[in-house]
Structure 1
Amino acid sequence: MRSRLLKIAAILLALVAALAGVLGWHLGGKQPQRSGTLELSGLQAPVQVRWDEVGVPHISAANEPDLYRSLGYLHAQDRLFQMEMVRRLARGELAEILGPKLVETDRLFRTLGIRAHADAYAARVQAAPPTPAMRALQAYLEGVNQYQATRPAPLEFEILGIPKRPFTMADTVSVAGYLAYSFAAAFRTEPALTYVRDQLGPDYLKVFELDWRPEGAVRTALGLKGGDWQDLTRLALNSQRALELAGVPQFEGSNAWALSGSRTRSGKPLLAGDPHIAFSVPAVWWEAHLQAPGFELYGHHQALNPMALLGHNRQFGWSLTMFQNDDLDLIVEKPNPDKPGEVWFQGRWVALQEREEIITVKGAAPVTLKLRRSPHGPIVNDAVPGATGSRPVAMWWAFLETENPVLEAFYALNRANSLGRARAAASQIHAPGLNVVWANADGDIGWWAAARLPKRPAGVNPSFMLDGASAESDKLGFEDFSANPQEENPARGYVVSANHQPAGALQVPGYYNLWDRAQRLDEQLRPEGQSWDMARAQALQLDVQSGFAQRLLQPLLPALRAAAAGNEQERALVERLAAWPGRHELGLNEPVLFHQFLYELTREAMADEMGEAMFDNLRRTRALDHALPRLAADAASPWWDKRGTPAVETREQIVALAWKAAIAHLRQTLGADPASWTWGRAHTLTHGHPLGLQKPLDRIFNVGPLPAPGGHELPNNMAQRLGPAPWAVVYGPSTRRVIDFARAGEAVGSNPVGQSGVWGDRHYEDQARSHVQGGYRLQVLNEPDVLAHTRSTLTLKPVD
């Protein structure tokens, strides 16, 4: 009997080993090839690719078409699944591979009109004589498609049953539309602020510092009803969930600054930047060092785009931040009561345009959409299935309404070695709005707020939804680029951009971030007599402090002390908050206590007036960040009174309720001892893969959780949403770069996860711990350094 059992065990072990071997062989065939020789059709000459220790390719080609064709092939080798997911999200085609739960996401993106716009845009471009930028894109896409056609499908394609389909110029333009949309805060902010204005009134609006218009047509002449508000709230929440369900990173903010040589130890300009984007696996950026006769660039690329959106070489470099200008208006149309399908526009009734689109759904019947468009733009509440509202809401969006040669802009920016060329390139960026922060080795620095800014009628505040039946929704043209906020070689010796509202003669409406982060950067950069170097710039990127917490806490400290008066432990906690400078380090307790209290305070003060759904929407807006310190400072604000109670509650009573709720939650969640309430325990980063949304695949494909220093709206902007502990970091530095143009060939940077999106590859997550801990690595350009860091070499050669 014992020998039989041993034989059976041996057979089972052999089967397991065989299966493991087959699986390993199968997965091994999907891994990137980084050595040897590969044939690539369309090449005119061999291309040499040298990979460094973190999987960054250094590509040397004899001409630009070969360079971009090779770039597409190699980019697809690491990121083909990412390319597939982002194009499907942008074009509303996710339900075809993920099933019915993604129908609402697809419905939203079809309603936005990105797919239709991209198809029309690509058709126009392809009918015209090709420009250098379009030839580069075509070569790149040929490389992507050649990889897809000749190599095994990624593991995710097999799991989800994704059919291979060639990538097109329309896909690239669609992805650009998704990026533009992900910047737009209007879907969350405008309904929330309009609700406060029209349902609660002027006294409630004061904390948002917005003008009250008692004649506001949406309130008095048109009147949104309960069903309309429900649809708008669902639209706002669906807009956010669409990005989360797809697992595709959303753009949120950024830091960037440039110092002239008069401010640096080397005597040459120094450039630093860290765009703030939602974290994911794979990371949003893919790095590549490109070389061809007359062209060299170390660039950061996004899926399906051959042009680097961030880059540098020995002569120049640039970084980006989000401008946060308001380039999207929600417009409430007036329907014709006698003829459905018509709205009032500029003095007459006009018919809505209609079209049908079909969403293919995995495992279910196709869904037919009937989509409408007014003269202002797509009717976006058509994205809400079973909508109960009576008012069509249109979307005017600069991305759909401008020429927007953004690919041409970045082709030029990739080659912009002079101040004039950089300015000209930035002027071609129409949407989304971006701040371009630029420097060169000749000593120039510059910043341009790049966007096509619409002219609106005087007195119109686009923070609110607009009345489509009046002139307030009209656009009177666009400002000339020369009027945009910008600076070139300022006397103070530096430029800085951190998503704050820019100063200047032209006041640009927008959804700007808290100024505390920009103020913290400016405070460190402004003092004269400092000598900046790369180490000091890195330290500023990793700074974990701002003045926001104390700005909010100071007026509340008497009420907090009163709330904690009966408990010695709680009194000590309040005094620690009072003395806390706002630092968010892993071992500190104060940030945990502060953010839990802030959430409870906001909820106690505002949820009863807004209702749960609209409150959930409001707490995702930047407008709330600005409002909370004003609310804390205003003891007479009507927000303090709780609806549904006979008494009129005071600020002190609400502070006491919030304090007790915060302490109770932390004790229940993190333990009875406040010493265990550390930021590193409560604030963690997990890089989520689209398949990681489904358990137990999260344990296979996701990376994390990792303790994360920093926090919301700090220079090290490892941001968490306003909500209860523990907190997941939702966005932050998608890369950190520092370039001193005295030795630009030795720049430093970081990647949040790794270069590769291929599960099982050694570069899938090899940078994750270093990035969250503030590590940097070299980004080399000089040939001796490239040789020293080369770990493998691949030659791409023409097909014989």
Structure 2
Amino acid sequence: MKRSLSVLALVVAVGAGAGYWYIHGKLPQRAGEVAVKGLQAPVTVRYDSRGVPHLQAQGEADLYRALGYVHAQDRLFQMEIMRRLARGELAEVLGAKLLPTDTLFRSLRIREQAALMAQRQDQQSPAWQALQAYLEGVNAWQASHPRPVEFDLIGITPRPFTAEDTLSIAGYLAYSFAAAFRTEPALTYIRDQLGPQYLEIFDLDWVPQGALTTPLAAADWKSLEMVARAGHDALLAAGIPQLEGSNAWVVAGSRTRSGKPLLAGDPHISFAVPAVWYEAELSAPGFNLYGYFQALNPFALLGHNRDFGWSLTMFQNDDVDLIVEKTNPANADEVLIDGQWQALEKSVQTIQVKGEPAVTVNLRRSAHGPIVNDVLGEAAGARPIAMWWAFLETENPILQGFYQLNRADTLDKMRTAASQVQSPGLNFVWANARGDIGWWAAAQLPIRPEGVNPAFMLDGASAEADKLGFYPFSANPQQENPASGYIVSANYQPPAAMPIPGYYNLPDRGRQLDRHLANPQIRWDTENSQALQLDTASDYGPRTLAPLLATLRQVAEGDEEKELVEQLAGWRGDYPLTSTSATLFNQFLYELAHGALHDELGDTWFALLLSTRAIDAALPRLAADAESPWWRSRGSDQPGERTAVVRLAWHNSLAHLRETLGQDPASWQWGKAHTLTHNHPLGVQKPLNLLFNVGPFAAPGTHEVPNNLSAKLGPAPWPVNYGPSTRRLVDFADAGQALTNNPVGQSGVPFDRHFSDQAEGYIEGRYQRAQLGVISAQSRLRLVPAP
């Protein structure tokens, strides 16, 4: 027995030692000296207490080369999975379940567009040279270190990263903004299958001439359902962050406590592990920037220094049109464009699938754009559906735009930089220490024929699908040093000299911000700005409930239910962790939507509509319109009865909450039902979720309040899927002490101490310092030229 125990102890010790050795070999190196291929001179990297690198180089090329090196050691798997998503190569490492996602992204032609963009680059431009140096740093780290844990688990063979990979990810960013992929099929279905009266709750004009010349067949509608579902599921299946919205505002020095401008920003992006942003301070002679970087991008998408800074939000302009082509009865590979039958361009691509034979996909393209329903193979309807997409149709010198933006310390420089970001559409909110503030909506906006409503799918055989050119950047919405002394951007429809079609968010969140910022009695500083970023209230709930309160009082049964209705009547639309009214309203809102809309739409179209911003605008208008046809039961000729739907929604809400959260309404606290888990791409597979995922945490806030921790509209409980990807506050009286936070941690390496060290502080609303220049370094890494 003693001998057996000794052997067992030895085996355990050896196993533990091997495990420690394996894990230790995967961790980032943040101290000592390392020789790096390609460096021309030493680079010093000081790490602060959050694991953020502060790089000091003697030249710009070495600065970006070193950034690539340290970025890779913290986030190589994120870089790998992002490029595979954008280029349609996930099934090769994650299996056949990702084949629909790969097929969709191949059909979007992002790979081909990235190659064209790379060919168009000026090889001698500073932006291109910086990108090449950065990629050299990424590849130098990958070539000289063990593979990340995730590579070992799913069998990824490393290969060098290229400029095409970086530009492909720009395509993914543009696609993740493309709400039209889901919204246009849903609205077109409602218009053509239910009737124009059903569109009134969406506040969309009925344009008779916008209807398709030849109605779609049942098989075509089924195909559309599947295409829209594929667009919705693509990023969810990959576990990749999707850009959803954002808050940003800037206050002039005349309105701040310090007398200098104050910049605030919190881009709203899907939560994931690792977090979307990689923070780093870059310093070289003549250049300094504290930046927030995305995978494989050497230029900060957010950033600041002592002289200037900026944040961004989604413009949400409609830069995608879905176009139904008319096929030649004598040749299914020809479509009618400009009165002529034109042959569809064809290509064949092969998708590698882990553990299975490779799959061949046949792709087609019309003059309007890629045929997107070909991704369904035999399930595709007879009518080809093309996608016109600004990302594929513009020059889009986005590399040069962000390179210049990282250096834009004046209004003129910032305006010029913003004009070069053409797709995706972004709002840039900016300030400098001299006192200037500004906002520019950056996108190349297409000129559509008069009367065309791109909220619906368009007829490819008519002129409505044509584009008449692009508006000049000077026509885009923008403000510079407005008399109000502040600027707010929160994804609502911007003021503009011309109509700009888009999928804008409701104004409630923006109004909540504007209500505070417009108060001339408030002098803004980082303290009261934190409170505004963390605000959990808006008018949306109360204004949706207002027209229904009389009906709710009528249908409530017993003292307990009547008391719950009165609590809702007095509720101010806020979502702290302890609120029970927030929980009841959220459940009731879903049940109301289901009771009114589901019988007309069915399972697929109802679920798709819930995934669009159109539902947010529709429900308050539906609640206020007692005569809406949506209240009528499907197939009935009788007038609808709002009271019957409200009664059913109310009782279903109470039954569900009692079953899910307990019989006592006092236990229906928002924090018990609304939780945040940061999911890793491999965490979808149990028990890997225990190793890679971070959370759950009770989460305050909700959809369309300033602290926009959003969950999909549905039955409780509600897992949060997106929200502030960072919260930033920069007072230019002391930009070296800016505030920030990270939803998870700086590192993407499992078992690293910075993998999830900020997750608890983030959900509690604690801020950290984003320090510039002299910092209290926790460790120091010296990168030197390799012999």
What is the TM-score when the length of structure 2 is the normalising length? 0.99
Query: Which AA in structure 1 matches 2:716?
Result: A
| 1:710 equivalent among 701, 717, 741 | 701
2:749 is aligned to 758
Q: CA deviation at 1:138?
A: 0.1
Query: Which AA in structure 1 matches 2:84?
Result: R
Q: How does 1:192-207 map to 2 (within 5 A)?
A: 192-207=186-201
Q: CA deviation at 1:117?
A: 1.1
SS of the equivalent of 1:383 reads helix
Q: CA deviation at 1:173?
A: 0.4
2:714 is aligned to 723
| 2:153 equivalent among 155, 159, 174 | 159
Kept in 1, the 8 Å contact 2:280–2:290? The answer is yes
SS of the equivalent of 2:440 reads strand
Q: How does 1:365-376 map to 2 (within 5 A)?
A: 365-376=357-368
CA distance in 2, matches of 1:470, 1:36: 66
1:209 is aligned to 203
1:539 is aligned to 531
1:775 is aligned to 766
CA distance in 2, matches of 1:388, 1:28: 50
Give the aligned length.
787
2:781 is aligned with 1:794: yes
2:385 is aligned with 1:393: yes
1:593 is aligned to 584
Q: How does 1:457-496 map to 2 (within 5 A)?
A: 457-496=449-488
Q: CA deviation at 1:120?
A: 2.3
Query: Which AA in structure 2 matches 1:116?
Result: E
CA distance in 2, matches of 1:798, 1:215: 66
Query: Which AA in structure 2 matches 1:242?
Result: A
1:583 is aligned to 574
Kept in 2, the 8 Å contact 1:122–1:170? The answer is yes
2:558 is aligned with 1:567: yes
Q: How does 1:639-650 map to 2 (within 5 A)?
A: 639-644=630-635, 648-650=639-641
2:207 is aligned with 1:251: no
Query: Which AA in structure 1 matches 2:26?
Result: K
1:448 is aligned to 440
2:71 is aligned to 75
CA distance in 2, matches of 1:87, 1:441: 37
1:284 is aligned to 276
Q: CA deviation at 1:646?
A: 7.8
| 2:180 equivalent among 175, 186, 194 | 186
CA distance in 1, matches of 2:600, 2:471: 39
Query: Which AA in structure 1 matches 2:409?
Result: N
CA distance in 2, matches of 1:421, 1:597: 50
Query: Which AA in structure 2 matches 1:723?
Result: G
CA distance in 1, matches of 2:445, 2:217: 32
2:118 is aligned with 1:118: no
Q: CA deviation at 1:709?
A: 0.5
1:417 is aligned to 409
Q: CA deviation at 1:645?
A: 5.9
Q: CA deviation at 1:11?
A: 2.5
SS of the equivalent of 2:26 reads coil
| 1:332 equivalent among 315, 324, 331 | 324
Deviates more, 1:207-216 or 1:678-687: 207-216
Query: Which AA in structure 1 matches 2:785?
Result: P
Q: CA deviation at 1:510?
A: 0.2
Query: Which AA in structure 2 matches 1:140?
Result: Y
2:19 is aligned to 23
Q: Structure 1 129/87 Cα, relative in aligned 2: closer, same or farther at 3 Å?
A: closer
Give structure 1 stretches of 5+ with no counterpart.
none
CA distance in 1, matches of 2:188, 2:667: 42
CA distance in 2, matches of 1:677, 1:711: 16
Kept in 1, the 8 Å contact 2:277–2:293? The answer is yes
Q: CA deviation at 1:665?
A: 0.5
Q: CA deviation at 1:503?
A: 1.0
Q: CA deviation at 1:369?
A: 0.8
CA distance in 1, matches of 2:331, 2:237: 39
Q: How does 1:532-681 map to 2 (within 5 A)?
A: 532-564=524-556, 566-644=557-635, 648-681=639-672
Q: Deviations over 1:89-123 (max 9, x none)?
A: 00000011111111111000000000111122223
For the aligned residue pairs, the C-alpha RMSD in angstroms reads 1.0
| 1:504 equivalent among 496, 500, 504 | 496
Q: Deviations over 1:310-338 (max 9, x none)?
A: 00000000000000000000000011111
Q: How does 1:128-143 map to 2 (within 5 A)?
A: 128-143=122-137
Kept in 2, the 8 Å contact 1:561–1:574? The answer is yes
Q: CA deviation at 1:739?
A: 0.2
SS of the equivalent of 1:762 reads coil
SS of the equivalent of 1:196 reads helix
CA distance in 1, matches of 2:373, 2:607: 19
Kept in 1, the 8 Å contact 2:130–2:298? The answer is yes
| 1:695 equivalent among 647, 665, 686 | 686
Kept in 1, the 8 Å contact 2:210–2:453? The answer is no
Q: CA deviation at 1:647?
A: 5.7
CA distance in 1, matches of 2:17, 2:401: 49
2:726 is aligned with 1:735: yes
2:262 is aligned with 1:270: yes
1:683 is aligned to 674
1:58 is aligned to 54
SS of the equivalent of 2:327 reads coil
SS of the equivalent of 1:258 reads strand
SS of the equivalent of 1:104 reads helix
2:312 is aligned with 1:317: no
1:144 is aligned to 138
SS of the equivalent of 2:312 reads strand
Query: Which AA in structure 2 matches 1:212?
Result: W
SS of the equivalent of 1:660 reads helix
2:101 is aligned to 105
CA distance in 2, matches of 1:84, 1:547: 42
SS of the equivalent of 1:205 reads helix
Q: Deviations over 1:648-667 (max 9, x none)?
A: 44111100000000000001
What is the TM-score when the length of structure 1 is the normalising length? 0.97
Kept in 1, the 8 Å contact 2:104–2:231? The answer is yes
Kept in 2, the 8 Å contact 1:137–1:306? The answer is yes
2:521 is aligned with 1:529: yes
Q: CA deviation at 1:216?
A: 3.2
2:428 is aligned with 1:436: yes
SS of the equivalent of 2:209 reads coil
Query: Which AA in structure 1 matches 2:104?
Result: L
Kept in 2, the 8 Å contact 1:485–1:506? The answer is no
Kept in 1, the 8 Å contact 2:629–2:640? The answer is no
SS of the equivalent of 1:714 reads coil
Query: Which AA in structure 2 matches 1:466?
Result: L
CA distance in 2, matches of 1:129, 1:301: 23
Q: Structure 1 7/562 Cα, relative in aligned 2: closer, same or farther at 3 Å?
A: farther
CA distance in 2, matches of 1:418, 1:253: 26
SS of the equivalent of 1:394 reads strand
Q: CA deviation at 1:492?
A: 0.5
